[in-house]
C-alpha cells in the first residue's frame, strides 16, 4: 500500500516582483512563500492503480516528488509498504520505482547500459540484471533499439528505457508521472499493458496522466487535486458517477465544486 496524509509543501519565493500576474493571483501565494501543495491525502492498495489527475500547476508532480523522497514535505506523512518515507528514505527508495517527468537518460550510453547502471546502483547482481533486461525488453518491445545510444532515440524509445530503469530492481510500489506523454498509439498501448502486468503482480501503481481515456481503461481509483488540495478521492465508478458517465465532465465537476470529496 502507498498512503499519504495531509501532505503540504511550501517554497520560498526569491523575488516576488518577478512573478507573473497569473502567479500573483494564485491563492497559494502567501507572503514570500508559494504553497505548491497545501493538503493532499490518498492511498493506493496492493494490486490497484490510482489515477492522479489535475490541471497543470495543480501540485501533482510536487506530490509525487515528495513521495519519491526527492524533496521533503513541509507537513504530512508518507508510507510505502509500511515504511515511513520521512523516517527511512533509503529503505523507502528500495521499495519504490519512480518515473519522473523527464527521462534523464545518459545519451552516450545505450539503453541496455543505462538500465544496467541503475540496476548496479540498486545492488542487483550482474546475472539478475541481464535476465531482467531481457524480460523487460520482451514486455516493453525494446529489443530492436536496446543496444543503440540513447541520444538517437525517439520519445517512445526513451520512455520505455526509462520505465525499465525505474523497475529494474523489482520495486514493491511504482509511481509513473505521465508515462505516455508524447507516445504514439502503439507505444502507449505497450506501456498500459506493462502497467497491467504490475497490477497482476499485486504492485500498487500511482499513475499521473492528462489522458482520461487511460484512466477509464486502467485505473481502480481516482484522486483529483487542484491548487494543491484534494478535490476528489474515490473509486473509478464514483468518479464516473459525478456526471452522466463522461470522464471529462466528471473531471470538470471536481474542479468547480469547492469542497471536493
Residue 153, all three cell numbers:
532515440
Contacts of 153 (CB under 8 A, 6+ apart): 105, 111, 145, 161
Contacts of 211 (CB under 8 A, 6+ apart): 180
Inter-residue contact 230 to 42 (CB < 8 Å): yes
Inter-residue contact 240 to 210 (CB < 8 Å): no
**pLDDT given for residue 235 in this prediction:** 94
**pLDDT given for residue 103 in this prediction:** 60
Q: Average of pLDDT values for 75-95?
A: 91
Mean pLDDT of the chain: 90
The yes-or-no verdict on residue 17 having pLDDT over 70 is yes
Query: 203-222: per-residue pLDDT in tens?
Result: 999 999 989 999 999 999 99
Contacts of 102 (CB under 8 A, 6+ apart): none
Report, in this order, helix, strand and coil percent for the chain, each rounded to 5: 40, 25, 35
pLDDT tier at 76, thresholds 50, 70, 90: very high
Which domains can be identified in the chain, with CATH numbers? 2-103+173-256 (3.40.50.300)
Query: 162-180: per-residue pLDDT in tens?
Result: 999 999 999 999 999 988 8
Write the Ramachandran bin of 30: left for phi over 0, alpha for psi from -120 to 50, otherwise beta. beta
Q: Average of pLDDT values for 92-110?
A: 86
Amino acid at each position: 500500500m502507498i498512503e499519504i496524509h495531509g501532505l503540504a509543501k511550501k517554497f520560498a519565493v526569491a523575488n516576488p516582483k518577478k512573478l507573473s500576474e497569473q502567479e500573483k493571483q494564485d491563492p497559494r501565494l502567501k507572503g514570500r512563500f508559494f504553497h505548491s501543495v497545501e493538503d493532499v491525502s490518498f492511498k493506493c492498495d496492493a494490486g490497484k492503480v490510482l489515477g492522479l489527475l489535475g490541471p497543470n500547476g495543480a501540485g501533482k508532480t510536487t506530490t509525487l516528488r515528495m513521495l519519491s523522497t526527492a524533496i521533503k514535505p513541509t507537513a504530512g506523512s508518507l508510507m510505502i509498504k509500511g515504511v515511513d518515507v520521512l523516517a527511512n528514505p533509503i529503505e523507502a527508495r528500495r521499495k519504490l520505482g519512480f518515473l519522473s517527468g523527464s527521462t534523464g537518460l545518459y545519451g552516450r550510453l545505450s539503453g541496455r547500459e543505462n538500465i544496467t547502471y541503475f540496476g548496479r546502483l540498486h545492488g542487483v547482481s550482474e546475472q539478475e540484471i541481464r535476465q531482467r533486461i531481457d524480460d523487460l525488453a520482451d514486455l516493453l518491445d525494446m529489443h530492436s533499439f536496446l543496444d543503440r545510444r540513447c541520444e538517437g532515440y525517439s520519445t517512445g524509445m526513451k520512455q520505455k528505457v526509462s520505465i525499465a530503469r525505474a523497475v529494474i530492481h523489482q520495486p514493491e510500489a511504482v509511481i509513473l508521472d505521465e508515462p505516455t506523454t508524447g507516445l504514439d498509439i502503439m507505444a502507449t498501448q505497450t506501456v498500459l499493458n506493462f502497467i497491467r502486468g504490475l497490477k497482476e503482480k499485486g504492485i500498487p501503481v500511482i499513475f499521473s496522466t492528462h489522458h482520461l481515456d487511460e484512466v477509464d481503461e486502467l485505473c481502480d481509483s481516482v484522486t483529483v487535486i487542484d491548487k494543491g488540495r484534494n478535490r476528489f478521492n474515490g473509486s473509478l465508478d464514483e468518479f464516473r458517477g459525478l456526471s452522466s458517465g463522461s470522464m471529462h465532465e466528471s473531471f470538470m465537476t471536481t474542479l468547480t465544486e469547492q469542497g471536493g470529496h
